[in-house]
């Protein structure tokens, strides 16, 4: 079973300049795990040190945000596409939220 | 290894970023930087990552700050907004090469919060707006190891005729 993971432009440099990777996986979490095993440098930009998906990193399975599905346990099927899209956030240092 | 980073933006577009910051003052403004990065149009690996010719900003995609709880010192752009910015860039044959935001009454330097919410490669332009007047503008890229930002030189002359 193969699913396509689209690599966002800023992270392609850590994935051999590829814009996508075909990965065999049964869930979104497994796909991201295999992707970051294959391209280790990607990991720190997608996951925190304790292995959680960074809050500003959004993952879509065929245009559906996985937060509204089963998150990283969302099952995948042959031909699915996973997109990784950042939220952009920032601001000054005072009054951290 | 240090490298010289550079970003080209016309004086007109740079002024528009400042104007956006003034318009939303005392709240933060934000938007996407649409442009080209020649190091990514070449498929071969002859250039080391992060190196190569400087990137150019050719258009802006102003966005609405989604943070209504603390808009004076935070901005937020949703994944959907990012997709819209990418579509707009793609329609013009461009890419989203970075993001801009303002720091009302604060220096144009990235905060720890900025670092936590950044990816490498993108250019992050910050404009300081003090007492409603746009002042310094700086641009930054997150280091590969996420340890901090490298400042990049803003070349506001280079792109003048390219829009």
Taking CB atoms and an 8 Å limit, are B77 and A11 in contact across chains? no
Which residues of A fall below an 8 Å CB-CB distance to B?
8-13, 17, 41, 44-45, 56, 58, 60, 65, 85-97
A-proximal residues of B, 110-139, CB under 8 Å: 110-114, 117-122, 124
Predicted confidence band at B38 (pLDDT cuts at 50, 70, 90)? confident
Considering only alpha carbons, which residue of chain B is nearest residue A85? B79
Considering only alpha carbons, which residue of chain B is nearest residue A55? B117
| DSSP string for residues in A67-79 | GGTTGGG-B--TT
Q: How far is CA A16 from the centre of its chain?
A: 16
Query: Of A22, A17, A27, which Cα lies nearest the Cα of A3?
Result: A22
Strands, E assignment, chain B: 6-9, 30-36, 55-63, 75-77, 95-104, 123-130, 133-142, 149-155
Chain B residue numbers with beta carbons less than 8 Å from the beta carbon of A8 are 119
CA distance B24 to B157: 26
* pLDDT in the model for residue B49: 47
Taking CB atoms and an 8 Å limit, are B76 and A17 in contact across chains? no
* pLDDT in the model for residue B39: 74
The predicted model gives A68-86 an average pLDDT of 96
The predicted model gives A12-28 an average pLDDT of 95
Tell me the nearest-neighbour CA distance from A2 into chain B, angstroms: 24
Percent with pLDDT over 70 in chain A: 95
pLDDT at B162 over 50: no
Pinpoint the alpha helices (H) of B25-151.
Answer: 38-41, 79-91, 112-116
Chain A residue numbers with beta carbons less than 8 Å from the beta carbon of B99 are 88, 90
Helix and strand counts by DSSP (H, E) for chain A: 2, 6
Pair B58, B3: CB distance under 8 Å: no
Residue B19: strand, helix, or coil:
helix
Pair A15, A21: CB distance under 8 Å: yes
Chain A residue numbers with beta carbons less than 8 Å from the beta carbon of B144 are 41
Predicted confidence band at B48 (pLDDT cuts at 50, 70, 90)? very low
Question: What is the pLDDT of chain A when averaged over all its residues?
Answer: 92
- Phi-psi group of B143: left, alpha or beta (phi > 0 → left; psi -120 to 50 → alpha; rest → beta): beta
Bridge partners for A60 per DSSP: A65, A83
Predicted confidence band at A32 (pLDDT cuts at 50, 70, 90)? very high
CA distance B127 to B101: 7
The predicted model gives B94-115 an average pLDDT of 93
* pLDDT in the model for residue B159: 45
User: Which of B55, B117, B141 is the mutation pick for testing A, counting most A CBs within 10 A?
Assistant: B117
* pLDDT in the model for residue B156: 81
Pair A81, A6: CB distance under 8 Å: yes
| A3-86, CATH topology level | Ubiquitin-like (UB roll) (3.10.20)
* pLDDT in the model for residue B46: 44
Pair B142, B119: CB distance under 8 Å: yes
Q: Where along chain A do its domains lie?
A: 3-86
Strands, E assignment, A30-87: 57-61, 64-65, 81-86
Tell me the nearest-neighbour CA distance from A20 into chain B, angstroms: 14
**More confident: B45 or B137:** B137
Predicted confidence band at B61 (pLDDT cuts at 50, 70, 90)? very high
The predicted model gives B38-49 an average pLDDT of 54
């Amino acid at each position: 079973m193969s699913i396509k993971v689209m690599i966002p432009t800023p992270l392609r440099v850590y994935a051999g300049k590829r814009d996508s990777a075909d990965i065999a996986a049964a869930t979104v979490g497994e796909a991201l795990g295999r992707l970051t095993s294959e391209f280790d440098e990607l990991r720190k930009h997608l996951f925190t040190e304790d292995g959680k998906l960074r809050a500003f990193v959004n993952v879509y399975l065929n245009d559906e945000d996985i937060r509204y599905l089963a998150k990283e346990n969302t099952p995948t099927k042959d031909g699915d596409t996973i997109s990784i899209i950042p939220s952009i956030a920032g601001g000054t240092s005072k009054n951290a939220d | 290894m240090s490298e010289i980073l550079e970003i080209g933006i016309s004086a007109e577009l740079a002024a528009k970023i400042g104007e956006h910051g003034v318009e939303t003052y005392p709240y933060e403004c934000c938007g996407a930087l649409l442009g080209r990065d020649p190091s990514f149009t070449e498929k071969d690996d002859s250039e080391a990552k992060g190196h190569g010719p400087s990137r150019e900003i050719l258009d802006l995609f102003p966005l609405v700050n989604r943070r209504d709880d603390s808009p004076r010192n935070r901005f937020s752009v949703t994944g959907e907004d990012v997709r819209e910015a990418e579509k707009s860039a793609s329609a013009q044959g461009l890419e989203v090469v970075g993001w801009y935001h303002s720091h009302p009454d604060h220096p144009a330097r990235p905060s720890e919060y900025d670092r936590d919410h950044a990816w490498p490669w993108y250019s992050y332009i910050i404009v300081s707006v003090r007492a409603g007047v746009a002042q310094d503008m700086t641009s930054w890229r997150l280091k590969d190891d996420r340890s901090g930002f490298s400042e990049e030189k803003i070349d506001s002359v280079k792109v003048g005729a390219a829009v």
